[in-house]
Amino acid sequence: MERIVQGTPPAEVVAKLQKANGYYITNTARDLSQSDYKNRILLHTDLLAADARERAGYFSLEITGGASVHVDILRKQVDPFLKLEILREKMPHTMFQTLCRGVNLFGYRPYPQNIIRFTVKEFAKYVDVWRTFDFMNYVPNMQAVFEEVGKAGKINEPCICFSTGPEHTDEYYLKKVREILDVTGEEIILCIKNHGGLGTPQRIGQLVNTIRQKHPDLPIHYHGHNTDGNDIGRIVAAVLNGATIVDASDHSFTGFYGPPPILTIVQTLKDLGHTAIGIDEEAVIESSDVIRDERQYYADFESQIKGFQPTVQIHKLPGGAMGSSLEQAVKGGFLDRMPDILHKELPRVQKELGNYWSVTPGSQILWTTAVSNVLGGERYGNPSGDLRNLLLGKYGPFPFYEPDAWIYEKVLGEDWKTVLAEQGGVEDIGDMDIEKEKATLAERIGEDPTDQQLTLYLQHPNDAVEFFKFQAKFGQVHVLPPSIFFRKGGFDPSETLIFTDYTGKEHIVEVGPSSVSESGETSVYINVDHYQRVYNFEPDVPEGAVAKASAMSKEEIMVLAKAGDMRAPFSGNICDVCVEEGQQVTKGDKLAVMEAMKMQTPISCEMTGIVTSVFVKVGGSLQPGDKILRIDKDE
Amino acid sequence: MKTKILVANRGEIAIRLIRAIQELKYHAVAVYESPDKDSRHIRIADEAIWLGKGPRCDYLDISKIIKAAKKTGAIAIHPGYGFLAENPDFAKACEDEGLIFIGPPSEVISNLGNKVIARKIMAEAGIPMVPGTDNLPPGEEGVAAALAFAAEFKYPIMLKATCGGGGRGIRLINSDQQMREEIPVARAEAQAAFNDDRVYLEKVVVEPKHVEVQIMADSDGKTVHLGTRDCSIQRRNQKLIEIAPSMIGDQGLLDTICETAVKAARAANYFNAGTVEFLIDKDFNYYFMEINTRVQVEHTVTEMITGIDIVRTQIKLAMGKKLSFEQKDIQMRGHAIEMRINAEDPKADFMPEGGKTVTVYRSPGGYGVRLDGFVYQGYTIPQVYDSLLVKMTVHGYTWNETVDRLRRCLQNFVITGPKTTIPFYLNIAKDADFISGNFDTSYLDKHPELFNYDDNANEASKLSNLIAEIHHRGYNPYAA
């Protein structure tokens, strides 16, 4: 049997999978990057591996989607479309795969239907395999994506999100498969999305077998994480029971929470008489070898805690959220509370909130609620806006059971029944005026945007604009290796850097001395292609100022809020300002919305009065204690 | 003691003059106003005199400059272009103080500076001229005369200030009503700008080519020409690009124009270097416009094709030497193009970029390129003077070779800090109409696409900016 090459029509792909006398492998480079490197693996590194990965003969390379589109523009400063374009040039035969969050696409909350369709259409120009999921397994949330993928002639791979617990039975999942097939038709690949790496090999094998019995012609793609160190076992069980495609990654970069190593799977299953179709083992080894040396430059993004986490079976955090959760714990200084949060509070919250699937954005809701419950003292005392939306059913109905009444009361207030009756139900988000958004973007960047720019803007408005400005100022920085891009502590005196720009022209850069003027402006002297250039930097904000602001305690911030001096309760960005100067407000009014770690939290008014000053703008970044706005009390 | 010559100017022309003075083994005395304290002409000169705080008043202060010359013992003054170069009072003051003014006598400057007298001299000499009037009589009588002229020669008509020049004090009139309205306004403006409210009219030549002839005359009255220059590519009547010789294919016509220029200079009793400007209409009729009594910015293109050092010759003539060559000795070889590289943003209507620091200055070199500039890396461009940074003149044997060289040199020229006209010129150097010599004074208006270019085309510089920031912060703030 031969590999399936890019450009094969979906029907033919499905037919080949049905006839497979072995199994295929997807290289999940994106999920590896997201789970074990906080999404920071640069295009530069992917390009080093591109040639070997192309020859390795994968079913697909999962290289975009999930949180990566956002991190591409936010932290890697690379255009997600350009990335695919450049990789396609180097990898003409390998299908590219994405992970799409249903109505949330590549963001963290629902988008209007027309935006979903517009975005899918743009990405479908580059992406062949569309893995789509919904964290509530609510099929209607995925329908628009299915339709657009079908229209673009690409392959739909709908997911059933997998978890464990008394409700997570084979019968339940069979019912979901049926619901999906009723919408998509038979020409799909079904993904069992085990984002936490949950269950035993026995459990996964049984589920695959049950689905195969019922739908013998439905190709199954098993996706798992190696958080507990046992995903090889689950993958082997899946293949032995008839899964046609499995997910794994390059061994020189495997960590603790992402997919397991490809080569181990190939070797193990070979001994069991199962062939990895199209796979060139030497190229698999070469892909790992060519990027091995780069791993050192990503050390800062690897997990703060080393070792596998078999307790994932208890806390169920998905691989993609492990890294960011630990990072948050380190930044927030509560790493020592992690055992409590992960092993006691998270499973409790999970059960209380309906035992749904812990994956974006549901995993963030569980995580923030658990953290807030443990650190805040009072359980459900400080509910996030997204938890509120969850209880209101905005994301879809609870799959098994609804939370207890007391939780509704805590989150929605005493009159929760009325609130639920009035505001509850799946949100019907009206279409956005795309032309109007385009005009706004044109104004913000000073030129007519391309459809690709508009797509990024519609997903992440402020971050996209910042990215476009970055690009205009700094150029195509994906040519810089991680040793430069992630350098800490500056460059050594007269260190020589050599790189090739996107046009193919090589440059030599020597970093020279810096000088500081009386006014605090720093001049950095750099020899670019043997000619000296000077780059000037304004003096930094004195460190004391920031330190003072963040030294403000939660209690102090609360006291100030009651006096009308609204401060940021945590570090994050302003994503909405709901009031204007001079506006009359009353207690409980939503004044602004802050976002941190993908979660939105409303800043509510504590008194009746008039807004006298607004200190922030949408997109602004705040430290705890930074001023948001001022309200003068009505006398 | 060395013979000293004072340079009453700044910027690139001051350096051009100082170089010629020093080549002739004289000492060059520079003068400067405070905003020019970092100017390179001060360092290149043998000595420099501070005139005052400026800006643009001390360079125009005749008595201060005369005093500086006296103080240093200079025997001659070269005024360059602009500032006092065509001010007859300055030439007169030099004459009165026994200083050699490197240029024509004050009377010649005065006559040719007065557009109406100049027209009269030329009319008497039989030089073809654009139909025009004498100074309009004051008040309603003047308006009536203007309307009568318009009735005879038709609109459009230029209303010009008698003492204007260099593109100032000119307005375009298209109707009788506009004429009535604009005459008083123009008078008031001329009064304010030139302290002289006289105005006159000239028929407009639509979309003309601007062609000028370099002339030289010694004190015996021997007058020669150094061929033509095309200065048609202009914005708001300010020249940007100059080419020698003119691209008009009809050599007979160009010869006639050059002979006419010599005749005009003789009629004005011209002495030293000067430029006779003509307009050429679509039917190749040519009209005398004016004589500029100074060294022109664009003199370099003539030097490149004739091999004659115009500034050196100017000084020698002023010092009493005679022209050492005859008209027949002057040979034109090849083509030369000069581009004025200005600190301006062409996209923002050529808004000056003064106040900015030149962070990178990397100039082209090699065969057939000449640079007349004064800025250097680290130089902050004063906001109070003109925006000319450097003139790049390229020379080639054929026109195609010259344009190829021009393009190559523009691609090699890197100036960062202020925005410059370089990327805009690069578009011109690649434009089919320019390459085929098809341009007149309407060229920029007809080619709006020339303004489409990437301001920050240098990728290495952008990437280095990020490297500098990573180095400065100790981490990459855009990846944190």
Going edge to edge, which strands form the sheet with B27-33? Answer: B47-52, B27-33, B4-7, B76-78, B100-101
pLDDT at B457: 61
The answer to whether the Cβ–Cβ distance between A509 and B467 falls below 8 Å is yes
**d(CA A308, nearest CA chain B) in Å:** 26
pLDDT at B469 over 90: yes
The answer to whether the Cβ–Cβ distance between B464 and A526 falls below 8 Å is yes
pLDDT single digits (tens) A338-360: 999 999 999 999 999 999 999 98
For B131-203, the fitting CATH number among 3.20.20.70, 3.30.1330.20, 3.30.1490.20, 2.40.50.140 is 3.30.1490.20
pLDDT at A532: 77
**Lowest mean pLDDT, pick from A66-75, A126-135, A219-228, A526-535:** A526-535
Q: With bands split at pLDDT 50, 70 and 90, how would you rate the model's confidence at B403? A: very high
pLDDT at B433 over 60: yes
Most confidently predicted of A168-177, A323-332, A565-574: A168-177
Task: Flag whether A523 is in a domain.
Answer: no
In chain A, % of residues over pLDDT 70: 97
Mutation pick from A477, A494, A527, A546 vs chain B, by most beta carbons of B within 10 Å, is A477
Tell whether A475 is within 8 A of chain B (Cβ): yes
Task: Flag whether A443 is in a domain.
Answer: no
**d(CA B458, nearest CA chain A) in Å:** 9
Closest CA to B301 of B267, B337, B251, B249: B337
Tell whether B365 is within 8 A of chain A (Cβ): no
Task: Flag whether A322 is in a domain.
Answer: no
Mutation pick from A534, A537, A538, A540 vs chain B, by most beta carbons of B within 10 Å, is A534
pLDDT at A606 over 90: no
pLDDT at A121: 97
pLDDT at A297 over 50: yes
**Chain A CB contacts of B361 below 8 Å:** none
Tell whether B476 is within 8 A of chain A (Cβ): yes
Mean pLDDT of A414-418: 94
Tell whether B477 is within 8 A of chain A (Cβ): no
Residue A7 in tokens:
């450009």
**CB under 8 Å to B477, separation ≥6 — which residues?**
B469
User: Which of A485, A507, A531 has the CB atom closest to B479's CB atom?
Assistant: A485
Mean pLDDT of A141-169: 97
User: Which of B378, B467, B476 has the CB atom closest to A486's CB atom?
Assistant: B476
User: Which of A477, A531, A533 has the CB atom closest to B466's CB atom?
Assistant: A477
Mean pLDDT of B418-426: 93
Task: Flag whether A53 is in a domain.
Answer: yes
Mean pLDDT (chain A, rounded):
91
Task: Flag whether A421 is in a domain.
Answer: no
**Chain B CB contacts of A479 below 8 Å:** 463
Q: With bands split at pLDDT 50, 70 and 90, how would you rate the model's confidence at A564? A: confident
**Chain B CB contacts of A503 below 8 Å:** 459
- Which residues 454-473 of chain A have a CB within 8 Å of chain B? 470, 472-473
Q: Which CATH number is associated with domain B4-102?
A: 3.40.50.20
pLDDT at B165: 66
**d(CA A64, nearest CA chain B) in Å:** 18
Length of chain A: 635
pLDDT single digits (tens) A459-512: 999 999 999 999 989 999 999 999 999 999 999 987 899 999 988 889 999 998
Task: Flag whether A305 is in a domain.
Answer: no
Q: With bands split at pLDDT 50, 70 and 90, how would you rate the model's confidence at A542? A: low
**Chain B CB contacts of A470 below 8 Å:** 478
User: Which of A76, A486, A529 has the CB atom closest to B460's CB atom?
Assistant: A529
Q: With bands split at pLDDT 50, 70 and 90, how would you rate the model's confidence at A635? A: low
User: How many residue contacts between A and B have a Cβ separation below 8 Å?
Assistant: 105
The answer to whether the Cβ–Cβ distance between B463 and A499 falls below 8 Å is yes
User: Which of B461, B469, B475 has the CB atom closest to A528's CB atom?
Assistant: B461
Which residue type occupies A605?
A: C
* Exposure b/e, B104-116, CB count within 10 A at least 16 = b: bbbebbbbbbbbb
Tell whether A534 is within 8 A of chain B (Cβ): yes
Q: Which residues pair with B214 in a beta bridge?
A: B275
What CATH number did the domain enclosing A101 receive?
A: 3.20.20.70
**Chain B CB contacts of A531 below 8 Å:** 360, 362, 414
**Chain B CB contacts of A491 below 8 Å:** 467, 470-471
Q: With bands split at pLDDT 50, 70 and 90, how would you rate the model's confidence at B167? A: low
> Which of the listed residues A298, A314, A339 is the one where a domain comes to its end?
A298
**pTM score:** 0.70
Torsion of CA A178, A179, A181, A182, to 10 degrees: 110
Residue A192 falls in which region: left (phi positive, over 0), alpha (psi -120 to 50) or beta? beta
Mean pLDDT of A100-119: 91
Name the CATH superfamily for B209-451: ATP-grasp fold, B domain (3.30.470.20)
Of the residues B10, B187, B294, B340, which is catalytic?
B294
pLDDT at B455 over 80: no
Check residues A3 and A572 and name the one with the higher pLDDT.
A3
> Which of the listed residues A281, A298, A315 is the one where a domain comes to its end?
A298
Closest CA to A480 of B467, B469, B475, B473: B467
Evaluate whether B244 touches B300 at the Cβ level (below 8 Å). no
* Exposure b/e, B427-438, CB count within 10 A at least 16 = b: bbbebeebbeee
Angle at A481 between CA A480 and CA A484, to 5 degrees: 80
pLDDT at A598 over 70: no
pLDDT at B166: 58
* Structural domains of chain A, count: 2
Instruction: Tell me which H or E stretch contains A95.
Output: strand A95-100
Active site residue B294: yes
The complex's ipTM? 0.83
Evaluate whether A23 touches A274 at the Cβ level (below 8 Å). yes
Tell whether A485 is within 8 A of chain B (Cβ): yes
**CB under 8 Å to B472, separation ≥6 — which residues?**
A490, A514, A522, A524, A535, A537
Mean pLDDT of A576-597: 83
**d(CA B52, nearest CA chain A) in Å:** 28
Domain range for residue A229? 10-298
The helix-helix angle for B106-113 and B88-97 (nearest 10°) equals: 170
Which residue type occupies B333?
A: R
pLDDT at A605: 85
**Chain A CB contacts of B463 below 8 Å:** 474-475, 477, 479-480, 499, 501, 507, 509
- Residue A491: count other Cβ atoms within 10 Å of its Cβ: 20
Instruction: Tell me which H or E stretch contains B4.
Output: strand B4-7
Tell whether B326 is within 8 A of chain A (Cβ): no
In chain B, % of residues over pLDDT 70: 99
CA–CA dist A80, A96 (Å, integer): 13
Residue A595 falls in which region: left (phi positive, over 0), alpha (psi -120 to 50) or beta? beta
pLDDT at A326 over 90: no
**d(CA B468, nearest CA chain A) in Å:** 6
Mutation pick from A72, A531, A533 vs chain B, by most beta carbons of B within 10 Å, is A533
**Chain B CB contacts of A522 below 8 Å:** 472
Residue range(s) of every CATH 3.30.470.20 domain in chain B: 209-451
**Chain A CB contacts of B479 below 8 Å:** 40, 75-77, 485-486
Task: Flag whether A416 is in a domain.
Answer: no
**CB under 8 Å to B277, separation ≥6 — which residues?**
B210, B211, B212, B288, B289, B290, B291, B292
pLDDT at A541: 61
**d(CA A510, nearest CA chain B) in Å:** 9
Cα B15 off chain centre by: 15
> Which of the listed residues A298, A325, A345 is the one where a domain comes to its end?
A298
The answer to whether the Cβ–Cβ distance between A488 and B460 falls below 8 Å is no
**Chain B CB contacts of A499 below 8 Å:** 463
Tell whether A532 is within 8 A of chain B (Cβ): yes
**Lowest mean pLDDT, pick from A248-257, B16-25, B202-211, B364-373:** B202-211
Task: Flag whether A625 is in a domain.
Answer: yes
Residue range(s) of every CATH 3.30.1490.20 domain in chain B: 131-203
In chain B, % of residues over pLDDT 90: 80
pLDDT single digits (tens) A151-162: 999 999 999 999
Which residue type occupies B141?
A: E
Residue range(s) of every CATH 3.40.50.20 domain in chain B: 4-102
pLDDT at A376 over 60: yes
The answer to whether the Cβ–Cβ distance between B463 and A474 falls below 8 Å is yes
Specify the pairing of strand A95-100 against strand A60-65: parallel
* Exposure b/e, B15-38, CB count within 10 A at least 16 = b: bbbbbbbeebebbbbbbbbebbee
The answer to whether the Cβ–Cβ distance between A509 and B377 falls below 8 Å is no
**CB under 8 Å to B326, separation ≥6 — which residues?**
B224
